[in-house]
Amino acid sequence: MFGTMLDAGVLRPAAVEVLRRNDLGTVTTAAPDLYPHQWSWDAAFVSIGLARVDVRRAITELRSLLSAQWSTGMIPHIVFSPGAGDYFPGPDRWGTDDVTAKPAGVRTSGICQPPVHAIALRHILERGRENGGADLDAAEAFVAETLDGWLAWHRWLAEARDPDGVGLVEIHHSWESGFDNSPRWDAPYARITPGEVPAFVRRDTLHVGSSAERPTDEEYTRYLWLVEQMRSVGYDDARMPGTVDFRVRDVFFSGVLAAAAEVLAGIAAELGRARDAAEQRAMAARFRAGVAATVDPVTGLARDYDVHAQEWIGPLTAAGFAPLVAGGDPDLLPRQRAILLGDDWMGHPALRFPLPPSTSPVSPGFRRRTYWRGPVWPFLNLLLGWCSARDSAWELRSVLRDASLEQLGDLTFAEYYEPITGEPLGSHSQAWTAAAALEWLG
């Protein structure tokens, strides 16, 4: 059992040192070699960890991200750091420099990632209130100053990505989900025949122990084809649905939006913004209902929906627990927790730690060393732990916390971990993994 003062005394400074080394001053790179820029949902989790040690630096992290927000309200999934290390695909490949919605002087990708930012905003506010003094003043001022930006982000998702009001966010690239090569996307990608894709040289496979840990070149060609399609219409929200070959209603993304909208509603209410609070509560209810409506009666897991094929997507992945993220359903949530703690997931006897793999070990798509097809992701465990605390599911939270701290005690702060052996995989010194350790330590 992790939790002794000696363990915390080793883990905490090691995690702080990772964040220090990845710090470029106003942004924290996701990882020093493989990911030398700022990623959207990484930044949110990084700010949660930073708030445990430096509230004002956590504020700077989110402020920097928000400065790249497009005029539409979208927060791009990558904000490129000038002069940072080589990364592919870089800003030239995305071709967003001439997009009028993008703020001038900032280089970004043209897609988004799950909207966990309001959850991070709440963490910063809570740490500021705990500390008092200058931290309290800075946190409250930041929240008041940026509320409209976070509201615009949620509104863009609800309007541009769910125009029919079904309570599910439509994504146009698996990179938007954050679960890049998950079995969730096998069927939608199998139906895509890429057109002409300019030649490319990948960089990601140079920074891992084996290329088998990463998506294949065939998968990457499809990824880049979608970028070409979106670029061809200038990332125009109105034109993309009729252009892109990948249109999926992402249940996990939608669960995150439901949770974040509820949090933002509470913040708006504290600021006396009653109308905005009511709007966000309604948004949370809409996406909670959308998520709940996807649950497969056989597996008990939530499912994505392929718009082009007009069919459900239901492999056994961690995204199936989107209702636990969305919250709010007193009947559904206990059933989902029982599944998560059961033998197909956290209770599987072969696991090194009782932590949820990204794909169930009993799934035919389970590949224990390959990115989102099996490995355990520390930041995802932190998100599930936060949701468990929110809903007073203390048994689940306790298991997640203790096992996470034991896993992170190897001090590699890996991007993801092999679920059976516990071996660290992917990029090491990953910022959001270090941040997760700091938040678990509290």
Report, as residue numbers or ranges, the catalytic residues.
180, 415
Instruction: Find the angle CA(171)-CA(109)-CA(44) to the nearest 5 degrees.
Output: 75
Cα separation, 245 vs 226, in Å, equals 7
172/109 Cα distance (integer angstroms): 13
Q: Are 323 and 333 in contact (CB under 8 A)?
A: yes
**Contact call for residues 322 and 304 (beta carbons, < 8 A):** no
Residue whose structure tokens are 């993994």: 433
**How many Å separate Cα 246 from the centre of its chain?**
19
Backbone angles phi, psi at 376, to 5 degrees: -95, 135
Contact 34, 214 (CB under 8 A): no
Cβ within 8 Å of residue 256, ≥6 positions away: 114, 115, 116, 325, 326
Query: How many whole angstroms separate alpha carbon 175 and alpha carbon 383?
Result: 19
Do 266 and 335 form a contact (C-beta atoms < 8 A)?
no
Integer distance in angstroms from the first to the last C-alpha of the chain?
A: 17
Of the candidates 237, 241, 236, 251, the one whose C-alpha atom is nearest the C-alpha of residue 166 is 251
Q: String of b and e for 295-317 (b: at least 16 CB within 10 Å)?
A: beeeebbbbbbbeeeeeebbbbb
